[in-house]
Amino acid sequence: MLDEVRTVSDYLKLYGSSLAEKITKEAEPLFNPGDEWDEKMHTLLRKPFPAQGDVIMGVVKALEKQNSIIIVGECGAGKSLISIASTYISSNGGRPPRVLIMVPGHLILKLRREVIQTIPDAKTHIIRTLKDVMAIDTAHPNKVPEYYIISKDKAKLSYRWVPAVVKNSSGYRCPQCHELITNDDGIPVDFAYFKKAKRFCPNCRSALWQADNKKLRRFAISEYIKKYMKNFYDFCIFDEVHELKGGSTAQGNAFGALSSAAKKTIALTGTLVGGYSSNFHYINFRLNPKRMKDEDIGYHQLSKWVSRYGVLERITRHYEDEDNRCSKGKKSRTVLREKPGLSPAVFSRHLLSSSVFLRLEDISVNLPPLSEEVVQVKMDEELEEAYKELENKLASVMRAELQRGSKKLLSVYLINLLAYPDSPFECKSITQDRDGVEVLIAVPQSLLKSKIYNKERQLIKLVKEEKSQNRKVFVYCQYTGTRDMTGRLKEILSNEGLKVEVLKSTVTPEKREEWIAEKVKQGVDVIIANPKLVETGLDLYDFPTLIFFQTGYSIFTLRQASRRSWRIGQKKPVKVYYLFYQDTMQEKALQLMGSKLEASLAIEGKFTEEGLVALTSGEDMTTALAKALVDGLETEGVEQIWRKINEKNQPQKTISLTEEEPRGEDKVAIKEEKVKEDPNKTVVIEFTKFISRKKKQIERVEVKASELEQVLEERGQSAQLSLF
């Protein structure tokens, strides 16, 4: 039988049912969908969707047995509602909960509004300064639920620091153990090494930095709560926890301090893992230190975690040494470097028992259609010639750099090739620092700025089409610094009679939601912004059409920004367009991001064979794009790749089949003509078995529409079509 197994799909077809049966027996869920909800659920001011309510109960049950939980949900799945409601419904020793919520700065007012709209009699407080925290009466018991909201930027703010090392004739030493501080080659480091970041002694782990008493004297709010308000908060909620993954960053340390100070912790994210296994190490340790210690992995043992759950590359370089000039001896140095990739064992050992996964399609059957389209644009003739000349020059330099094993300037080359087709005017020379000397690499041709180029014409066409259908458009521009295109696009679109505004980073995070709402009231047709400004938390209901004029090559920024409009509550069909110039680095970037998205979908449970392979692959986007520039790109066309992703993102259709239903209603046979429309469509059958009048068991079976009759015949049952 094993001879028939060639792929993961083959294996699952043969043994999937046996594996599922074994998991069902050994992994008893804390809460089954369909079980009775807590009575307090019905007192919420906002009624959650059935799937949200089930997740809330799952979180409540989990926190009765453990101290932390991670809610991994797609953008718009209601993670904030779920976390807030979970703290309210939790028994919490019979007392109303005190909850601290740390969110990105632009979500403070939104979170406050959500609490007021969801929790009965809730009191909300916004923490902006240390004085706000010190004014809290910790001895006074609360009679109603209390929610304290703080931005992650305010929580982290502390004093300035300076290096703290001892210098002697041999170099800089640790002030505690007097160990000489050296680099990987055993060479003593210079003082600049200590100024770049907070360093710790590799021998005794003492801090090699101290407070700067000549600068601003300030105590971090997170550290104050950890030191003086231990266990004051019953729950601590961290939104967008993937942004707090750093082991020694200020935001990461604030996350660790507040998590250790609260009794229970709830972490929220839509993109838990950013490609590298190290992304999850510190998050996991701050949430589940005992589990990590049980595996004999310490907080500072990142390399041990990566070697067990990640992908390591061993690089050995051989070079001649002065002592071996007259002999055959050589020296060598071996370096271990982490590459992208994550072992699936992370899910079974660290995520299954401490995470809840939720997709938009689980929540609402009323989500509007979502269409994503890549729009290929042919370059203007003079632009194509100028681009090819620049590409050839950079490709030859890139090839030489990669052969030397250097990746130092990859991003510089790639950004130039990604951005040049959109802004081929007033170009600066591209240079490279080689041993302190600036070497000229290329001088891009500067083309006419007064001309409107083909990609801009395509943007005008799309926006006008949407305007004619009374649809507002949000346009994303990735490069808004030295290559800022927002002003040019505003002028071009305004000249076509459209009302256009640009959202800039100077609009403070807290005011961005209000700023967008005000522009909508004023009748704006188009808003242009960097996707980073809206990628988390902001709802763009008024903009059912999103256009990526530029995409960059960050998969997670693209995914977050592309879902700002497709959310619960959206009434109009959502369209997302990705514009790119044909035969350029822009096309290669979209091809690679499409293939890498298979791994992201696998994390959320949409497993495919390609996704499993991508999950453990060791190629980062920057290196992959560099190789695409030098050697070409062997993958499917960009249209085919994104067509597949678009199909995977569409909600699956669910057929509900009930066994032994007490009400005795007749079941209606499936309308066969609907199935025949698309025999390859994936459908999910829910077999619901009532164990008692209040308890039922649900089994889900995923099949192709063409196989539906066979499955029902084997079960000896008919079914009712609930959504198709």
* pLDDT at 587 (0 to 100): 86
> Using one digit for the tens of pLDDT, what is the confidence trace for 38-59?
999 999 999 898 889 999 999 9
CA distance 668 to 399: 65
Which range of 238-252, 375-389, 559-573 scores highest in mean pLDDT? It is 375-389
Could you tell me what percent of the chain has a pLDDT over 90?
32
Task: Tell me the average pLDDT across 466-492.
Answer: 92
Determine the Cα angle at 678 with ends 676 and 682, to 5°.
Answer: 115
Q: Which is nearest to 109 in space by CA: 516, 513, 394?
A: 513
State how far the Cα of 717 lies from the Cα of 709, in Å rounded to an integer. 10
Please state the rounded mean pLDDT for residues 148-167: 86
The predicted-structure confidence for 190-209, as pLDDT tens digits, reads as follows 998 888 888 888 888 888 98
Find the mean pLDDT for residues 252-276.
85
Rounded to 10 deg, the angle between the 250-261 and 278-287 helix axes is 30
Whole-number pLDDT of residue 497? 94
Give 704's pLDDT tier (boundaries 50, 70, 90): low
Q: Is the pTM of this model over 0.85?
A: no
| Predicted local confidence at residue 670, as pLDDT | 35
pLDDT band at 308 (very low <50, low <70, confident <90, very high): confident
Q: What is the pLDDT of residue 528?
A: 96
Give the model's pLDDT for residue 466. Answer: 95
Which has more pLDDT, 429 or 63?
A: 63
Domain boundary assignment for the chain:
161-217, 366-378+448-649, 381-442, 653-721
Q: Per mean pLDDT, which range of 368-377, 478-487, 504-513, 674-683 is the poorest? A: 674-683
The predicted pLDDT at position 344 comes to 73
For residue 246, count other CB atoms closer than 10 A to its CB: 14
Helix, strand, coil distribution of the chain in percent, nearest 5: 40, 20, 40
Confirm if 478 and 552 have CB atoms less than 8 A apart. Answer: yes
H-helix or E-strand containing 520?
Answer: helix 512-521
Give yes or no for residue 34 having a pLDDT over 50: yes
Mean predicted lDDT score pLDDT of the chain: 79
Mean pLDDT of 302-323: 71
For the cut 60, the answer to whether the pLDDT of residue 673 exceeds it is no
Question: Residue 655 pLDDT > 60, yes or no?
Answer: no
Give the residue-averaged pLDDT of 93-99: 93
Least confident of 223-237, 326-340, 361-375, 430-444: 326-340
* Comparison of pLDDT for 234 and 14, the residue scoring more: 234
CB-CB contact of 236 with 229 (8 Å): no
Average pLDDT over residues 432-456: 86
State the pLDDT at residue 676.
Answer: 44
Q: In this predicted structure, what is the pLDDT of residue 271? A: 73
**pLDDT higher than threshold 60 for residue 546:** yes
Residue 670's region, left for phi above 0, alpha for psi from -120 to 50, else beta, is beta
Model confidence pLDDT, tens digit, residues 68-81: 999 988 777 889 99
* 563, pLDDT greater than 70: yes
Written as one letter, the residue type at 116 is I
Choice among 146-150, 165-169, 406-410, 550-554 with the minimum mean pLDDT = 406-410
Q: Which residues on adjacent β-strands are paired with residue 338?
A: 312
The edge-to-edge listing of strands for the beta sheet with 545-548 is 370-377, 574-581, 545-548, 473-476, 526-529, 500-503
Average pLDDT over residues 527-546: 89
**Any residues with CB less than 8 A from the CB of 151 and at least 6 apart, and which?**
102, 103, 104, 105, 108, 509, 510
The CATH code of the domain at 366-378+448-649 is: 3.40.50.300
pLDDT value, residue 694: 45
β-partners of residue 188 are 182
Q: Where do we find the tokens 């049966």?
A: 21
Higher pLDDT, 210 or 602: 210
- The pLDDT of residue 5: 66
Distance of CA 450 to the CA centre of its chain: 39
Q: What pLDDT band is residue 654 in, cutting at 50, 70 and 90? A: very low
